Every structure is written in structure tokens, then in C-alpha cells.
A = this chain, B = another copy of it.
Amino acid sequence: MYCKYRMKPTINDIARIAGVSKKTVSRVINDSPLLTGETRDKVKAVIEQLGYVPNPQARALALGHNFLIGLVHDNPNAQMILNMQQGILEGLRGTEFAMVVQPVNRSSPSLVEDMREFIVRQRLYGIVILPPISENDAVAKMCVEAGCRYVRMGSAVLDESKHMVASNDRDAVKEAVRYLIQQGHKRIAIVTGPQGFRSATERLAGFEDAMTEAGMKLPRSHRAEGEYTFDSGLVATEQLLDLSPRPTAIFASNDEMAAAVLYAARLRGIAVPDELSIVGFDDTPIASRIWPPLTTVRWPIVAMGRSAAHKLIAGAVEEIDLEDEPTEFLSNLIRRGSVAPPKP
């Protein structure tokens, strides 16, 4: 047997069989530039032949960090988180990195300490932080202190390029509302997200941009605050549908609340889209499953996840160049059946 106990081969096995020292093998693994092409080829052949894979735990110990990327989130929009996971894993594919997931409670007073604990315990190489936690600068500061790379995901650029993947919610919503205006809507209302969410602010700003551009005003009454949940959307919608004259279109700041707008309209016998047009945000699966299917904003979460992962590991993986990774990502409006011109 070429190595003890039929276990996975170690660096020692490779060194012995290739007739070189451990360190030489280590140099091959780490693509050191100081090697003869000949030596390199010889060692690589043995590595290939034995199917040798370096032990990440040993490397972790020697290097002082693990080959783990953390994903920290709260606010489970299930599909968003799963898409993000998919994107990160795509970004990590082919490397020795793995992804560990950690949900946290954003309103816990120990949030920052909980995250530090997570980072330090697992000696994470880097973490991806999802909104709304990503908007917390104290968290970013803690990451630096803890010696952990980080990338924040957000609805606007909040940090240096290497620490950020961002959508542009403001422009995306502006385009969506512009579309409603083009359809002839005059009384357009918004269900906003909760205060303290940057995405809520951005989306509202985009809404106002479009209105201003068209010389229209957003009366305070046409603005109802939700909390990104279905139930809060229901409550906010009631408020808007009580108005007289009623809005002919409602932009809801996420799909969950847009589904609530639709639900509330149905409860009152208001026809969608004939009597009320609805636009959502996220393009979650629910948007295309309900009737009528929802016009909504789709943002490239998977691509953002992939890029976030790349930004984190660019320093460790030769093939990845930080310069190639975008910081801002474009959303686009998905037009479906929930919007129509207002009936006079």
C-alpha cells in the first residue's frame, strides 16, 4: 500500500513517492514560482495519480484560518436566502472553500457579539452579510477587528467595492412606477417597507423619483407602511383601499406584501388588474403562482451571491480577479398580468 491504513494520502505520501520533501509538495500545491518545471510535473503526476487532496483542517491550523465562508442572515425571505446560497456556492465551486450558514436575530442586543462568536469560533475566512444586517456599520467594524473579510449585500452601495454587492433598488422602482404612469395611472399608492430597512428607503425614493419626474405628487395618504410581511401588507392595503377616490394602482415594496394587496382586493371584490393594478418587488415564486400573475422587479440574487463569494476569496484563489467582479447589479421589470391601464 502506498499509504498507511488505506486512508486518504497525505502530503507525506506524496513527498515520499515523488522522492521530494514535504515542502516541495507544499510548494506545488500553493503554486510557488520557485520550482523547476520538471519537479513540479513529477509531483503533480503523483498527486493526480493518488487523487491527493490537501486536508483543509491542517491547512486551517497552519494558516490560522479556516476555508469556510459564512453566510449570516435574518429576515428569512426563503427564496432570497436560498438563491444567495446557490450563488455563493457557485462562486466557491472548484475551490477548497465551503459555506456555513448562520441565521441571527437582528434585533438582539447581542447581535454583534453573536456574529463575532460565530466568526471566531469557526475561524471564518470571510462572511457574506445579507440585509438588513448588512446595513449595520458596527457589524462591518467588528469583522475588521475579528480579522475576517466581509462582503455586504444591499440595495445601495454602502461600502467600498471589495466589501459590497449591491442592487439599485431606487432606479428599479423608478422604472416600475414609470411604467404604471405610462399606462395612464394618476392615483398611485405605495406600501413601503419598514423603517430602518435601507431597501425600504431606496424603494420609496425610487417611487418618488418617478412621480416627481412626471410632475405628480405623492400625498401622505397614498403611503402606507408595511413590514415586508403578508399580514402587515394586508393592514396597509386596507388603509389604501379605504381612500376615496381609490388609488388605481399600488406598488408594494416586496412580493409578499403585493400578494397581500391582491388578497385584500379580492376580499373586497375589487378586480385586478381592471380596477386595481399591482406591482411587487423580488420576483419570488409566489409572484408567478398567484392570479393574476404579478408584475414585479427581479434582481439578480444568484449573480450577486457568486460575486460576493469571489470577492471574498479572490486573494486565495489565483483564477479569481477582484477587478472582474461587479459591485452594482441591474434589476429588471417583469411584466405580467397584474397591471393594466385604469378603467375610467
Chain A residues close to B by CB (< 8 Å): 8, 53, 55-58, 60-61, 66, 68, 75-76, 78-79, 81-82, 85-86, 89, 96, 98-103, 120-123, 230, 256, 259-260, 262-263, 266, 285-286, 288-291
Contacts and interface: CB of A to CB of B under 8 A. Distances in A.
Quickly give the copy total for this chain. Answer: 2
A306 to B, nearest CB: 14
Given A57-B123, A76-B86, A290-B291, 8 more contacts: A55-B61, A57-B61, A78-B78, A78-B285, A98-B122, A100-B100, A230-B288, A286-B286
Given A82-B78, A102-B89, A57 B55 contact: no
A102 B61 CA distance: 23
A103 B89 contact: yes
B286 A289 contact: yes
Given A55-B123, A61-B58, A263-B291, A76 B82 contact: yes
B121 A56 contact: yes
A248 to B, nearest CB: 21
Nearest to A79: B78
A53 B89 contact: no
Contacts of A290: 259, 289-291
A71 B150 CA distance: 24
22 contacts: A55-B61, A55-B123, A57-B60, A57-B61, A58-B61, A60-B60, A61-B61, A68-B100, A78-B79, A81-B82, A89-B101, A89-B102, A98-B122, A100-B100, A230-B285, A230-B288, A256-B285, A259-B289, A263-B289, A263-B291, A266-B291, A290-B290
Contacts of A266: 291
Given A57-B123, A66-B57, A285-B78, A100 B98 contact: yes
Nearest 10 interchain pairs by C-beta: A57-B60, A259-B289, A78-B82, A98-B100, A78-B79, A78-B78, A266-B291, A57-B61, A100-B100, A286-B286
A263 to B, nearest CB: 6
A256 B285 CA distance: 9
A123 B290 CA distance: 44
A158 to B, nearest CB: 25
